């Protein structure tokens, strides 16, 4: 139930002003009891509410964060006690100041070295795993090892069977561009840890919400990509030769395949040929 907070084009004395480019698409989707997903344009953040406290993830940006707080306020008046960063990229974790001084910010320790500009520093960091309990509802924060970056975590609500992970997984969408300089083997290992959790609903930071089986599909894509690039390297092919000839027919209908597949090949090639 995405609501578009948009005035349609305004016609002012014959000249058309397109308001669409100015106004953000805001939405809140209920995923399970206590568990919601906030959307601001292309970015999504999970939040979990109880009678006495709210845990929000990813403030997103200076622009999005106040709208996010407003949307939470439509659901509950309980104080927002915790803000959890999914990883360190500033298009997901800027704007935390809108949540006020009373909020405790948690993140994987890998976020610390990237704090700058509009990113509020986390007051609590962890290396492997930690849990926050909202009354008796557990929110488990798990570092599955490096994936898209060295700070991406899984936000897991076991009793509601929901897992949230940003940028490292999606629903039938290929990874962004050239995989951000990450190790593809480590990335797959992190997704295997996500897949080992017991849940039903997969909530990514972009694109549609999915089911647990979408994690396996994503792992299958990564393994097919790694296998194909490795085969090309073993046969003495250059990156350009691979980009000209390689295709993965099973994934051609995935979002961004046409745009980013060659870049995915480049990212994997760079890592495997090191
Ligand atoms: Zn992102």
Confidence bin at 22 (pLDDT 50/70/90): low
- Using the mean position of ligand 1's atoms as its centre, give its distance from the Cα of residue 173 in Å: 13
How large is the average pLDDT for residues 214-223?
98
Contact 139, 131 (CB under 8 A): yes
How large is the average pLDDT for residues 96-122?
96
pLDDT one-digit tens code per residue, 112-148: 999 999 999 999 999 999 999 999 999 999 999 999 9
Contact 43, 92 (CB under 8 A): yes
Q: What's the predicted TM-score (pTM) here?
A: 0.91
Confidence bin at 3 (pLDDT 50/70/90): very low
In the chain, where the domains are located: 1-166, 169-274
pLDDT one-digit tens code per residue, 49-76: 999 999 999 999 999 999 999 999 999 9
**Rounded distance between C-alpha atoms, residue 109 and residue 111, angstroms:** 5
- Using the mean position of ligand 1's atoms as its centre, give its distance from the Cα of residue 148 in Å: 10
CATH class of the domain whose range is 1-166 = alpha beta
pLDDT at 145 (0 to 100) = 98
- Using the mean position of ligand 1's atoms as its centre, give its distance from the Cα of residue 167 in Å: 5
- Using the mean position of ligand 1's atoms as its centre, give its distance from the Cα of residue 208 in Å: 13
pLDDT one-digit tens code per residue, 77-87: 999 999 999 99
- Using the mean position of ligand 1's atoms as its centre, give its distance from the Cα of residue 206 in Å: 7
Token readout for 98 is 């809108």
- Using the mean position of ligand 1's atoms as its centre, give its distance from the Cα of residue 154 in Å: 14
pLDDT at 180 (0 to 100) = 85
- Using the mean position of ligand 1's atoms as its centre, give its distance from the Cα of residue 195 in Å: 20
Contact 228, 268 (CB under 8 A): no
**Rounded distance between C-alpha atoms, residue 167 and residue 93, angstroms:** 13
Place of tokens 């561009």: 177
């Amino acid at each position: 139930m995405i609501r578009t907070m948009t005035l349609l084009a305004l016609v002012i004395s014959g000249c058309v002003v397109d308001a669409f480019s100015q106004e953000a698409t805001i939405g809140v989707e209920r995923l399970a009891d206590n568990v919601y997903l906030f959307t601001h344009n292309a970015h999504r953040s999970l939040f979990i509410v109880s009678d006495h406290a709210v845990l929000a993830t990813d403030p997103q940006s200076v622009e999005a964060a106040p709208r996010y707080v407003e949307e939470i306020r439509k659901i509950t008046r309980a104080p927002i006690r915790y803000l959890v960063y999914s990883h360190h990229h500033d298009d997901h974790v800027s704007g935390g100041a809108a949540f006020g001084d009373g909020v405790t910010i948690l993140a994987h320790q890998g976020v610390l070295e990237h704090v700058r500009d509009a990113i509020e520093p986390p007051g609590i960091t962890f290396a492997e795993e930690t849990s926050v309990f909202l009354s008796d509802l557990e929110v488990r924060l798990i570092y599955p090892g490096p994936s898209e970056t060295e700070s991406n975590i899984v936000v897991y609500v076991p009793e509601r069977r929901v897992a949230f992970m940003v940028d490292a997984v999606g629903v039938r969408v290929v990874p962004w561009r050239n995989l951000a300089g990450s190790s593809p083997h480590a990335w797959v290992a992190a997704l295997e840890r996500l897949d080992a959790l017991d849940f039903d609903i997969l909530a990514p930071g972009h694109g549609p919400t999915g089911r647990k089986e979408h994690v396996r599909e994503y792992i299958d894509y990564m393994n097919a990509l790694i296998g194909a690039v490795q085969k090309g390297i073993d046969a003495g092919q250059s990156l350009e030769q691979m980009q000209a000839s390689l295709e993965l027919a099973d994934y051609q209908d995935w979002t961004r395949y046409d745009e980013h597949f060659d870049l995915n090949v480049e990212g994997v090639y760079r890592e495997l040929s090191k």
